[in-house]
Amino acid sequence: MSITFDNINRISIDGHETGLALLQCRGGTVVYTPETSTTKYAVHKMPHARYSTAHDKPAIGAAGRAQLDADIRALLETLK
């Protein structure tokens, strides 16, 4: 399995919720921790400004889906 997104942009890896979410904005891709009763909203700096969530080698020059998967896994290691 790999990275998946639900209908409210929450990120799962290998079928497990990560506690992170993703937005595609004009300025790039934003990965963040949504605010809940136990966590504060936080934006996480990613190695690439923009990621494709659909293609591994997008024509637009953004980092692909496989790179997003790898970068999310690396981010999760830093959040432990």
Residues 62/52, Cβ–Cβ less than 8 Å: yes
Q: How confident is the model at residue 64 (pLDDT cuts 50, 70, 90)?
A: very high
Q: What DSSP element (H or E) covers 74?
A: helix 65-78
- Mean pLDDT of all residues in 15-25: 96
Strand, helix or coil for residue 73 = helix
**At residue 60, does pLDDT exceed 90?**
no
Predicted confidence (pLDDT) per residue in 25-52, tens digit:
999 999 999 999 999 999 999 999 999 9
- Per-domain boundaries in the chain: 3-78
The DSSP symbol for 79 reads T
What does pLDDT average to over the chain? 94
Residue 33 in tokens: 């921790």
